[in-house]
């Protein structure tokens, strides 16, 4: 197949590209490198079946050309990360909604399969645990810019499902729950790379809020297994699926675990949200997915534990830090 990955220079996208190249597919990537990095694709660039386009999904002419010759589109391009969302809400909204609109409109012309990356942020402040795909979203006030990401991805989902229902376009929505792994950056607030790098550098591990909020972290290659399994099942299109793990941990316990696994002497500091983000901040206390739907559809079960995930990330950052010092 010829596969188009938007946002392919990002953390998840780069792992996805490596998977497809190993399987012998042709892979095209479009990424403006606003949050992705070309170095993420260092294992792909020399492959004759790989093409990289340093451009934006907002460029309709370029997208027309790429979608025309593709068999399937993995639409991962998005503005992500809590810090980025708070600091640049206009960019978040425009990139996410406009980019998805362009992808879907052009894909409709050629009836190409589209997989849209969405997020557990969709569930907002809902306290109904675990989150099921058909559950209501409970979003905060528009006066809090942190909700712009959740709202923009909700519009992406509505658009994708509308194109499926109205035009018969094969569209699939994937809601990711805190995907983590090698190459993820802490630049825009991602907690695990931020903790790991701080611990290895002997710097404070900054826990925002009281640290009692909990998350379920999923190793990136487990997420990719779920994505590709769904893509290969024609009956999965037209649906929304959670992809994640149900191994829950509080953020303060995560900080303790990272400190222990790195044998770090770093202190754990608690930072009020207002100080961290420069404004009042709504946060979710728990975020746990129901995986019943994807398990029933394709037999998906995450295989890599949180401890093993952290070990791999710690090893990755140790090598990165050594390279930076050499």
Q: Is pLDDT at 280 greater than 90 in this prediction?
A: no
pLDDT confidence band for 219 (50 / 70 / 90)? very high
pLDDT tens-digit readout, 258-273: 999 999 999 999 998 8
pLDDT score for 6: 98
pTM metric for this prediction: 0.94
Q: Please tell me the predicted confidence (pLDDT) of residue 254.
A: 98
CB 289 within 8 A of CB 244: yes
Which residues fall within 8 angstroms of residue 275, CB to CB, at 6 or more apart? none
Q: Which of these ranges, 246-260, 266-280, 303-317, has the smallest mean pLDDT?
A: 266-280
The answer, yes or no, to whether residue 82 has pLDDT greater than 70, is no
Q: What is the pLDDT of residue 90?
A: 79
Q: Which residue has the tokens 């729950």?
A: 177
Q: Note if 149 is an active site residue.
A: yes
Catalytic residue among 149, 208, 277, 300: 149
User: Is residue 190 within 8 Å of 150, Cβ to Cβ?
Assistant: no
């Amino acid at each position: 197949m010829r596969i188009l990955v938007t946002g392919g220079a990002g953390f998840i996208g780069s792992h996805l590209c490596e998977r497809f190249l190993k399987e012998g597919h042709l892979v095209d990537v479009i990424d403006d490198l606003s949050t992705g990095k070309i170095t993420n694709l260092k294992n792909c660039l020399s492959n004759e079946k790989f093409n990289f386009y340093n451009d934006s999904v907002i460029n309709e002419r370029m997208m027309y050309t790429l979608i025309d010759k593709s068999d399937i589109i993995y639409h991962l391009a998005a503005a992500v990360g809590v810090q980025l969302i708070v600091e640049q809400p206009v960019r978040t909204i425009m990139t996410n909604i406009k980019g998805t609109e362009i992808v879907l409109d052009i894909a409709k012309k050629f009836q190409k399969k589209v997989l849209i990356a969405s997020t557990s942020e969709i569930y907002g402040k809902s306290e109904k645990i675990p989150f099921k795909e058909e559950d209501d979203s409970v979003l905060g006030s528009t006066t809090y810019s942190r909700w712009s990401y959740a709202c923009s991805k909700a519009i992406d989902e509505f658009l994708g499902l509308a194109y499926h229902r109205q035009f018969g376009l094969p569209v699939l929505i994937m809601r990711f729950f805190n995907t983590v792994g090698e190459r993820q950056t802490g630049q825009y607030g991602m907690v695990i790379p931020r903790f790991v790098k701080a611990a290895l550098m002997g710097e404070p591990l900054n826990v925002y809020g009281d640290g009692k909020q909990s998350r379920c972290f999923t190793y990136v290659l487990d997420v990719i297994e779920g994505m590709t399994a769904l893509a290969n099942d024609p009956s999965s299109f037209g649906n929304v699926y959670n992809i994640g793990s149900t191994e829950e941990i509080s953020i303060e316990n995560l900080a303790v675990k990272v400190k222990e696994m790195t044998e770090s002497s770093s202190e754990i500091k608690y930072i009020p949200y207002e100080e961290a983000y420069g404004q009042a901040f709504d946060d979710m206390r728990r975020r746990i997915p129901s995986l019943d739907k994807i398990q029933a559809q394709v037999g998906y079960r995450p295989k890599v534990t949180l401890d093993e995930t952290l070990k791999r990330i710690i090893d990755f950052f140790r090598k990165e830090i050594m390279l930076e010092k050499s």
